């Protein structure tokens, strides 16, 4: 399972002034659109960093590996809490509200214990039909390409890798209800107001296969970026409160254990599923 642990948002330094870019040739239409989208993402991110509070954006840390290699243990995220908020008559024109889409990475309250916060990828939205055959996901009758997923075991598990089927391990009662009420023709049918999510580290993820659908009201927001990534073990990140061992490690190894290449890495969904 991948939990995300809330933490206090860091104070962000003012960005250094940048030199004016050199004149460039006109981009093709597709490239220009991609460039505009990237600029828009950065503008929104900067606004949230400068003016956001826990109402707008919140910091979380990834303590487990079920979203590897998209998100790593020790990734510190900023999560946009307004992305999926209901749009008002005025705010809908001012803020980038979007529906929850297939391929989105979402942060949500764990249905079996809402005190815990998880992060997974949305595979199915209301009305979708889902089936997994020998580790391959079929969505509405077609096999989908998932370049983000990883498999770290070579064997086929009768439930995990061929779903829906008879569980060969203990699952939450919500998963039992899901299998009893929402399977038709060998496929799982996602009901209204619910979402089916999986971890990218597909063989080592406690996800909808084991505890059922994510209710829409449980979804908190979507990760914007990794603002800092530090190589630390799960037990130091998942435990409650102050951990002296972790702070000693930070004081000694901050430079060497920080994954500098992941700093300010934007987190995007997988558009091909949408």
Specify whether 66 is catalytic.
Answer: yes
Per-residue confidence (pLDDT) for residue 57, from 0 to 100: 83
Q: Alpha-carbon distance 236 to 62, whole Å?
A: 11
Give the C-alpha distances (Å, rounded to integers) separating 233 from 74, 203, 254. Answer: 8, 19, 14
Per-residue confidence (pLDDT) for residue 49, from 0 to 100: 53
Closest CA to 66 of 158, 119, 149, 1: 1
Specify whether 257 is catalytic.
Answer: no
Per-residue confidence (pLDDT) for residue 43, from 0 to 100: 57
Per-residue confidence (pLDDT) for residue 50, from 0 to 100: 47
Q: Tens of pLDDT along the chain (274 residues)?
A: 555 655 433 333 334 444 444 444 444 555 665 556 555 565 555 555 544 445 678 899 999 999 999 999 999 999 999 888 765 555 555 555 689 999 999 999 999 999 999 999 999 999 999 999 999 999 999 999 999 999 999 999 999 999 999 999 999 999 999 999 999 999 999 999 999 999 999 999 999 999 999 999 999 999 999 999 999 988 888 766 667 888 898 999 999 999 999 999 999 999 877 7
Give the C-alpha distances (Å, rounded to integers) separating 154 from 72, 157, 208. Answer: 22, 10, 21
Per-residue confidence (pLDDT) for residue 119, from 0 to 100: 97
Per-residue confidence (pLDDT) for residue 56, from 0 to 100: 76
Q: What's the predicted TM-score (pTM) here?
A: 0.78
Per-residue confidence (pLDDT) for residue 272, from 0 to 100: 75
Catalytic site residue from 8, 31, 81, 120 = 120
Q: Which residues contact 254 (CB under 8 A, 6 or more apart)?
A: 230
């Amino acid at each position: 399972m991948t939990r995300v642990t809330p933490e206090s948002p860091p104070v962000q330094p003012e960005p250094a002034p940048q030199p004016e870019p050199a004149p460039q040739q006109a981009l093709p239409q597709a490239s220009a659109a991609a460039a505009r989208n990237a600029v828009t993402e950065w503008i929104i991110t900067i606004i949230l960093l400068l003016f956001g509070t826990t109402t707008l954006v919140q910091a979380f840390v990834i303590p487990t590996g079920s979203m590897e290699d998209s998100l790593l243990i020790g990734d510190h995220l900023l999560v946009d809490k307004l992305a999926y908020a209901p749009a008002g008559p005025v705010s809908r024109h001012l803020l980038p509200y979007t529906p929850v889409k297939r391929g989105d990475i979402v942060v949500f309250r764990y249905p079996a214990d809402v005190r815990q916060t998880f992060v997974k990828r949305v595979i199915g939205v209301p009305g979708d039909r889902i089936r997994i055959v020998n580790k391959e996901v079929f969505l509405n009758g077609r096999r989908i390409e998932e370049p983000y997923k990883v498999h770290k075991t070579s064997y086929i598990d009768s439930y995990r890798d061929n779903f829906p089927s008879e569980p060969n391990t203990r699952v939450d009662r919500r998963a039992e209800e899901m299998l009893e009420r929402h399977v038709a023709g060998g496929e799982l049918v996602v009901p209204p107001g619910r979402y089916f999510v999986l971890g990218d580290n597909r063989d080592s993820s406690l996800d909808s296969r084991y505890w059922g659908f994510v209710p829409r009201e449980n979804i908190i927001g979507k990760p914007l970026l990794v603002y800092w990534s530090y190589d630390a073990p799960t037990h130091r990140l998942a435990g409650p409160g102050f951990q002296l061992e972790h702070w000693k490690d930070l004081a000694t190894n901050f430079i060497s254990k920080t994954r500098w290449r992941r700093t300010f890495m934007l987190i995007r969904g997988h558009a091909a599923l949408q």
